[in-house]
Structure 1
Amino acid sequence: MKPQEASQCCGPIDDLLDAELFKALGEPTRLKLLSCLAKCGRACSVTELTECCKVDFSVVSRHLSVLEKAGVLTATKEGRTVMYAVRYKHLSEAFRGLAVAFEGCRPKRRSAKT
């Protein structure tokens, strides 16, 4: 199939390639924050997460907001403190579904004639 034909047909991969998710994950500081938060295994405040990287509190807060908007994190307000947590199940399902969709697009190998 030619690229133009492929772009016209619909498949599960079209719905699973979420530009907002990939944009959110495409920034090194956000990846570092996600990694730090995932390894903590619990919700953390912006102040705690500021210790993970060498950027200002306000920058960390903006990055976490982008990750939350993209569905990567949840944010829960506890008094004046916002606690962020990884949406493990959501991310796992999103990437697992994407992997299956990519596998479905892979060309089938022709078996060698014997």
Structure 2
Amino acid sequence: MSNVQVLPLLEPESAAPCCPPLTERPLTAVEAERTAVMFKALGDPVRLRLFSLIASHEGGEACVCDISDVGVSQPTVSHHLKKLREAGLLTSQRRGTWVYYRVAPAVLAAMGQLLTSAAGA
């Protein structure tokens, strides 16, 4: 019998991007605030690198043990991963003693859509 405990995915504290392409219409104040939180989280080079490591990892998820070698201490890695989760960019799941991270569903597509031209523009 295995002692591995699988917990459900933790929901990020803010929703995934919801906005139309920037060229379609101006963002509302709420949309701008939500989007700025995500871009602010990605504005740190260590966070951007962690996000990239997770997004490009085989199987679309990465154990914290596989991505912690980014030139900062483990507590700092944990802090940056927490900020990415709070911004709605990552989800996490604990399996035994390890935590596995995954890019939140639809985040990359939604962020890409935000930065593309509207149809016919």
TM-score under structure 2 normalisation?
0.64
Equivalent of 2:50 in 30, 33, 49: 33
Equivalent of 2:100 in 79, 83, 102: 83
> Distance between the aligned counterparts of 1:40 and 1:88, measured in 2?
15
Bigger fraction of residues in helix: 1
1:112 matched residue in structure 2: none
Equivalent of 1:49 in 49, 54, 67: 67
Structure 1 residue ranges (4+ consecutive) displaced by more than 4 angstroms after TM superposition:
none
2:3 matched residue in structure 1: none
1:68 pairs with 2:85: yes
> Distance between the aligned counterparts of 1:90 and 1:76, measured in 2?
17
Could you tell which deviates more after superposition, 89-98 or 25-34? 89-98
Q: Which runs of 5+ in 1 are unaligned?
A: 1-10, 107-114
Cα distance change of structure 1 residues 12 and 76 upon mapping to structure 2, 3 Å threshold:
farther
Q: Which runs of 5+ in 2 are unaligned?
A: 1-24
Q: What's the Cα RMSD here? A: 2.5
> Distance between the aligned counterparts of 2:78 and 2:61, measured in 1?
14
Count of residues in Structure 1 that have an aligned counterpart in Structure 2: 93
> Distance between the aligned counterparts of 1:34 and 1:88, measured in 2?
13
TM-score under structure 1 normalisation?
0.67
Kept in 2, the 8 Å contact 1:44–1:84? The answer is yes
Greater RCO, 1 or 2 (C-alpha within 8 Å, sep 6+): 2
Aligned-pair CA distance for 1:91: 2.7
Amino-acid identity (%): 34
